[in-house]
Every structure is written in C-alpha cells, then in structure tokens.
Amino acid sequence: MHASPPTPPQTVAAAFAAAAAAWPRQAFLAVLPETANVYGIDAGELSYADAQARVAALRATYAAAGYGPGHRVGLLLDNRPAFFLHWFALNGLGVSVVPIHAELRAAELEYLVGHSEMALAVAPAPRHAELRVAAAAAGRPLQLMVDGDPPPAAPFASPFAAPQAAAAVGELSECALLYTSGTTGRPKGCMLPNRYYLHAGRWYAGVGGMAALRPGQERMLTPLPLVHMNAMAYSAMAMVLTGGCLIVLDRFHPSTWWSSVRESRATVVHYLGVMPSMLMKARSLPEDGHHLVRFGFGAGVDKALQAPFEQRFGFPLLEAWAMTETGAGAVVMAHDEPRAIGSSCFGREGPDVQVRLVADDGSEPGINEPGELWVRHAEEAHHTDPRYGFFAGYLKDEAATQEAWADGWFHTGDVVCRDAQGLLHFIDRRKNVIRRSGENISAVEVESVLNQHPAVKAAAVAATPDALRGDEVLACVVTHEPVPPAAREALAYGIVQHTLARLAYYKAPGYVVFVDALPLTASQKVSRGELKAGAPALPGQPHCIDTRTLKKRQH
C-alpha cells in the first residue's frame, strides 16, 4: 500500500511549525540596526528554530491564561518581531488577532476596540493609557499587556462563534481581523481565515516568471506596515512557505534605503508607488546598481518613472493588483513580459482568476475603454468556490458583504481597461476613498471629525494630486462665521490640529479651503463629482491654506 501524502498545514501556526522543521537554522527574521534603534530592541537575525521555540513558549502562556477559539487579541506592535511571535502563538490556539495601526488615535481606537470586541491588546506601555480610555468610551472590558509579560486571564465568554474544540480549528477559522477604509464612513473589519494567508503564501511561492522565489534563498525586505495585507499576508507567508528571511523595517527611510538594501543582502523588495518617486529624486551615484535585488513587488509606481527607475537601479518593478478583501483569491500581477512598462499596466489574470469589466451602463466595455473591475476565483479551481482565498466577510455587516458580492462577482470599485493584448491597466478608483502614500482614507471618516470642530458648519473632503504621495487630503470648510483673510491660516491650523488629535496623521487635511457653500446635489447631498473635479485647481488659491507641514508622525 502507498502511504497517503501528508495533509498540508491548515493554519498559519502549523505552516510556520512545518517551516521550522524544514529550515531550522535558516534566518526567519532580520532586524537592521536602524530599525532596532527605533524600537529599542536588539538587531540581528532570528532563526526558524529559535522563533518556533519562542512561539511555543508564548502559546503555552496564552493557553494557561485561558485564551482559545473565539477570542480576539489586538496587536499594537508595529513591525517588531514580537508581532509574528504573538500572532503565531495565538493562531495555534485558534485565537484571531486584530492588528492595530500605531498611528490610530482616540476616535479610531474607540471604534476598533468596540467593534472588534477584542479581549486583550498587546502594546508598549506608553500606549496603554490611550487604549484604556478607548475601551472605556466604547463600553468594552479590555485587558492590556506588554510583550514579555505573562498574559492576564482571558474572559470567560468569547465574542464570536467558535469551534467547539481547538482540534476543530482549521483553514476556515478566523486568523485575523484586518480593518480597511470603508466607502461610506467607518472602516470595515475584514474577517480573514487561515486559508486567506496560506493561499497568499502559496500563490507567491508558485507565481513564477520574473517573481519566481527560490526556496531557502530569498531575503525579502519590506518597509510596509504589518497592519496591511501586503506585509502580513504576501511577504510574511511567502517567506514562511519558502524558508526565506523577512527583513522588516520600521518604515520607509529614503535617505538610508539603499544602505538597508545592501546591508540586509535583500534579494526582493516590496514597495508602494511613492517610494520609487522619492528614490528617483536623489542624485545618481555610481553604486546605484550595487545590490542583490532581483525584483520589486508593489503597486502604484508613477508610469513616467517606471522605466527610468528600472534602468537606473537595475531591477524590474513588478506591478500588481489586489485588495484586502480579495487576498490572493484574485490577484493580478505583471510578472511576465511584455509588461507594458509606463502605462499603469498590472498584467493579465492567471488561470485561477476570473475578471469581468463592467461599464457604467452595465455593458462590457471595448478595448481600451474603462469599466469597473469585478473579480472572483476561477470556478474550475478549488472546488468551484468563487470566494476561495478571499475574505470571509465584513464583521457585523452582512449587507455590505452581500452588496460587494452582488451577481456572484466581487465588485472592486476600481476602474480599469483592457488593451488589445489582453493586459489590464489601472485608471482610477470609483470609491470615495483617497489614497495617500499607500494609505486608504475614507473621506466621510475625516469629515465626521472636521464637523466636530466648533468653528465648522460643514465640511467635505476630496483628493487633490500630490507629486510625491499620489493624493493629498483637501478639505472644503464652511464656517459658522465669516473668516477674515488674516485669520484663515490660524483657523486652518487649528482645524488640522483638532483632526490630528483624533485621527492618524495621514488622514488630516493637507489643505484647508474656506468656502461659502459646498457643492450639493438636488437631494442636498455633497456632490462628490463636482468636488473631485474642482479639487485639483484649489491649492495655491488665496482661500486655500497649505497645512501639509503639520502632518507628521506622532511617534
């Protein structure tokens, strides 16, 4: 009799344990001195075996404290190695993690803690006071701990449906709850099962072409935050499933980027479109091409800069498309030639993805004509499940989940076109979301905070082009009383400071425009189309105050 093939890992924790068994002495994580100094931790490398030992020890302490299927635990750990250790330890017990962006402030933390019903948050001690206030405002009990301390006892009740026993935890169990900007207000909580993360890693490990990963050899550098799916799903899981080393920076530092690339011996880098733009501004040096990078994986590079960047630095920028909701269940990547460089091309769908373009009138657009991108997993793959590899749904919002999946397709809200060669090109976003330096910002969320300022009668937010960051947040403000020209700057600064105290810095307005009235539709709603059309011309006008210098990281 032939032995049955081993069952592939069904959870992220099991996948990591398998990697540790296969590549025990390989480096799993590398922390560069610059990042170590920012976080106050040791620089160096952590092997798979040593990481697994620490994961197992952590898992035992969480189990002893009573954590298990049905609990959620918040991780406010930035890009520290501790993020992975706690994630894998909790995942092994069937606990879902809620990554918390370090830039979130009062109103955002209150919503996140309350909506997710997290039982515990792991965070540096200086953030505990904010989390306590947020939990109290949300009316939620919340345990707090610092990495390195024993976990406090888990609450008896768990907030969401859970398997009856830890043995039942598997591919479809919730692994993480990741928040993404909604189109009509509050961020939505995307429930991501283990399958989501495992499939992302398997996709990347097998995509091939110019993005082929060599088992046990890659060193992947990412400055992207672990609260985003790119770093947490693609980067992390690709390295776990191929025995590679992940190099996580605290963030993107343009002045030291290339020294980090060289010092870390990175073979793959992940990027957002703003990064190549900033790197190209530096003067050319003879050592620009002296590195080990084989390719960059990302999205949003300025189409005019893609070819010059590749020529100057000597490696391709492989543009891809995906969303938090789609994961690798429907990811498209320009990883084979021809890539149509310089045309916002992100390739063509593979055999496991189905794509449909839909014009405004519901028809199929012609060649090079725009349409909304609808996607699903190919029906002939993975047991005909069109949602394979996607998110499980929006937490506490089944109506929004069903709306997103209307007609059996996931409606992305992105407008693209297909050329005569079958390649897809990104055009614009239909959704009311501003994308600044890779961060999705809900206009309605910012407006709700602006409207709380005592001087503001009404406010509306739109995107205005920014040469460095893609988009910048522009706020049109109607005040209760007329504002003399001499007082505009002081009031604009006050409004932005008000926003910075309540929202992440990148969401605050970079421009404040004082207007007599907002453009309205016949039903007295803000005319988003008119606002969007007029926003690019406003910076530089006398009634438009530039407040970008106030937008700085808060930590």
Which 3-state string (H, E, C) describes 485-549?
Answer: HHHHHHHHHHHHHHHHCCCCHHHCCCEEEECCCCCECCCCCECHHHHHHHHHHCCCCCCEEECHH
Query: Would residue 413 count as lying in a domain?
Result: yes
Same domain flag for 116 and 65: yes
Same domain flag for 87 and 143: yes
CA distance 313 to 12: 35
| pLDDT band of 543, cuts 50, 70, 90 | very high
pLDDT at position 270 is 97
Lowest mean pLDDT among 115-129, 374-388, 394-408, 536-550: 374-388
pLDDT reading at 202 higher than 70: yes
Query: Would residue 4 count as lying in a domain?
Result: no
| pLDDT band of 165, cuts 50, 70, 90 | very low
Same domain flag for 140 and 48: yes
For the chain, the first-to-last Cα distance in angstroms comes to 61
CATH number for position 94: 3.40.50.12780
pLDDT at position 474 is 97
Same domain flag for 77 and 181: yes
pLDDT reading at 508 higher than 50: yes
Query: Would residue 338 count as lying in a domain?
Result: no
Question: 187 to each of 108, 177, 180, how far by Cα in Å?
Answer: 9, 12, 5
- Quick: pLDDT tens for 228-251: 999 999 999 999 999 999 999 999
Burial class (CB in 10 A: 0-12, 13-18, 19+), 281: exposed
How large is the greatest C-alpha to C-alpha distance in the chain, in angstroms?
88
The percent of residues above 90 in pLDDT, for the chain, comes to 79
pLDDT reading at 178 higher than 90: yes
CATH number for position 363: 2.30.38.10
Residue with the bigger pLDDT between 43 and 449: it is 43
Tokens of 260: 């980090």
pLDDT at position 222 is 98
Query: Would residue 224 count as lying in a domain?
Result: yes
Residue with the bigger pLDDT between 428 and 340: it is 340
Given a contact cutoff of 8 angstroms between Cβ atoms, the answer to whether 237 and 328 are in contact is no
pLDDT at position 527 is 81
Range of the domain at 225: 13-324
Same domain flag for 394 and 479: no
Average predicted confidence (pLDDT) for the chain: 92
Per-residue pLDDT, averaged over 176-180, amounts to 94
Tell me what percent of the chain is helix, strand and coil, each rounded to the nearest 5. 35, 25, 45
**Domain end (from 413, 431, 449):** 431
pLDDT reading at 394 higher than 70: yes
pLDDT at position 183 is 45
pLDDT at position 448 is 82
| pLDDT band of 302, cuts 50, 70, 90 | confident
**Sheet order of strands, 371-377 included:** 353-358, 371-377, 410-418, 424-429
Same domain flag for 301 and 406: no
Instruction: Residue 444: count other Cβ atoms within 10 Å of its Cβ.
Output: 17
Per-residue pLDDT, averaged over 458-473, amounts to 92
Nearest to 532 by CA among 443, 464, 483, 444: 464
Given a contact cutoff of 8 angstroms between Cβ atoms, the answer to whether 95 and 16 are in contact is no
Query: Would residue 42 count as lying in a domain?
Result: yes
Per-residue pLDDT, averaged over 104-113, amounts to 92
Per the structure, the count of domains in the chain is 3
**Domain end (from 399, 414, 431):** 431
| pLDDT band of 166, cuts 50, 70, 90 | very low
Residue type, 249: L
The percent of residues above 70 in pLDDT, for the chain, comes to 94
Same domain flag for 304 and 361: no
Query: Would residue 206 count as lying in a domain?
Result: yes
CA distance 441 to 78: 19
Per-residue pLDDT, averaged over 380-400, amounts to 87
Query: Would residue 3 count as lying in a domain?
Result: no
Query: Is the N-terminal amide bond of 484 cis, ω within 30° of 0?
Result: no
Same domain flag for 21 and 166: yes
Per-residue pLDDT, averaged over 424-441, amounts to 81
Same domain flag for 33 and 174: yes
Question: 67 to each of 97, 290, 438, how far by Cα in Å?
Answer: 12, 48, 34
Same domain flag for 440 and 409: no
pLDDT at position 420 is 96
Same domain flag for 32 and 103: yes
Given a contact cutoff of 8 angstroms between Cβ atoms, the answer to whether 359 and 369 are in contact is yes
pLDDT at position 442 is 77
Same domain flag for 101 and 249: yes
**Domain end (from 431, 452, 472):** 431
pLDDT at position 374 is 98
Query: Would residue 8 count as lying in a domain?
Result: no
What letter does residue 278 receive in the DSSP assignment?
H
Identify the residue whose tokens are 């344990």: 17
pLDDT at position 171 is 95
CATH number for position 516: 3.30.300.30
Chain CA centroid to CA 294, Å: 24
Per-residue pLDDT, averaged over 130-144, amounts to 96
pLDDT at position 375 is 97
Per-residue pLDDT, averaged over 255-272, amounts to 97
Given a contact cutoff of 8 angstroms between Cβ atoms, the answer to whether 12 and 175 are in contact is yes
Lowest mean pLDDT among 161-175, 263-277, 400-414: 161-175
